[in-house]
Structure 1
Amino acid sequence: MNENENEHDNTWLEQLATVHRLLHVEDNIADAALAEGVLTDNGIDHYRIENVQRLAAAKARLSDEGAPGIDVILLDLALPDSQGLATLQAILELNAGIPVVVLTVLEDEHLGRDAVSAGAEDYLSKSELVTQNLLSRTLRYAIERSRRRRAQARLSDVPVIAEQDAVRAAIKRDALDARVIPLRTAAPALFEQLAKDYQVLLINVIGTSAGFESDALGDGANAILDRLVEQRGSPADLIDLHAVALHRAIAGESDSAAAIRERSRTLVLTMMARLAILYRDRA
């Protein structure tokens, strides 16, 4: 099959599926990678994800009339250039009716409800990103509710807060049976061993000039990923391993902690991409 035939087949497959374009406004690279991994691996909805790290960049993207339209916005309220509900308000002033799902750092129901009152479709805490169905369904419901309101050209008679509480309860009920048990809980001994292996890998990455192409690093990374796939580990498990190993690696290294964190970002993104490929190839 030639390149043109491949391109034609990919286009045809995309037409069969509903592809949503998501703008993820998030400055934390690990959280951005986690959300992308969960949504890419959800097997139900299909997303083309754009990530920006600043409110200014989000405003520029939404104001670009020549760029493809955005179907839904996943918005971190704590950005380097804007904090709290002011971040949401700035987005709502520009998004022309695009549904917004906000992210809170903690289980802050008050902030989430205030965001919905201010115009967001829904809210999630970052801890809820690890629940695959919850994130996917929250975004899907936000898109559908927004489309329904535009089609009807009127607001629902149900108060916004009451509607959102009912929808969140339904989503969580639907997702409960499919909730993935974290590897740390399901297999603590294996998690601890993989965390140690990841720490060795991380130290090797920091100490080598060979980068990520060296055989030693490749073998070490692939061994960890193979075990994750065997256990049906999620992108959240990989992020969890990374966080534990990074914390241990920088303990007592105050002078070089910033450099370690910087190099570790490339490592976790590289491994996230490899994990996605492994699941695709073994499907």
Structure 2
Amino acid sequence: MKTLAILTRNPLSLIGLILVAAVVLSALLADFITPFPAHVGSVVDFTNFNKPPQWPNIFGTDLVGRDLFTRVIYAYRISLILGVVVLALAVPVGVAIGLLAGYLGGWTEYLLMRLTDVFLSIPPLVLAMSMMGLLAPTLTNGMIAVTVMWWPWYTRLVYNIARSEKEEGYVLAAEVIGASKTHIMFREILPNCIPSIVTKMTLDFGFVILIASSLSFLGLGVQPPTPDLGSMVAEGAKYLPDSWWLTVFPGVAILVAVFGFNLIGDALREILGVDQ
């Protein structure tokens, strides 16, 4: 609660909170706030196709007459699910490997960190594209591809902290009294990694959405008729500048989500005193 109070006193972090709250609430309440929920699927209405923004289609309609506002809101739900699942899988794996390498040292450190370096040496989007080239372009496979490219960043972060913390007095005291290595890693060192991990997760949430949208933009992510921000931008780009709404509104939706999470992440970094 104290951290939330501090966030609300900072104008930029308050803007971030508002943006993220709007994104999350709109995704959760999509069934109630969207005017045409049926337009999420393979609905065709050629009497209203490709119309500019007007009531009741405040974002306009797409090339087959579906309400763009409805599809953008439901696309937020897909993006948030992907972000939650990717971080829920990548963070524990990366943190565990980083703790093992940073505290145990020796051959364990060498093998785990060289493996991490291999993954870090490949540009994230290229690695995800390579994975998706081998897998069918589905939401589940998209989550797998992004997860595979995300865990090494947490390994590197926690490794650096653990390697520094293992020389601190509280760790040496735990070793003297006979505490197990597992206890020291997960009960002594890990709590001191939490501020950095939480800050990075907040910043990464927006980037996960951006990477997932990039894959969809390239045709390697969520496939139609399921609404996805990246695929909507890609489809609308073919008809610029005449049908500008097809690209502008999904693109702004991506911007709002990424910008909101970045503002909160930057504020948390200052509040928690994290140096990344």
Instruction: Identify the TM-score tier after normalising by the shorter chain.
Output: under 0.3
Query: Greater relative contact order (Cα 8 A, min sep 6): structure 1 or 2?
Result: 2
- Greater fraction helix: 2
TM-score normalised per structure 1: 0.25
TM-score normalised per structure 2: 0.26
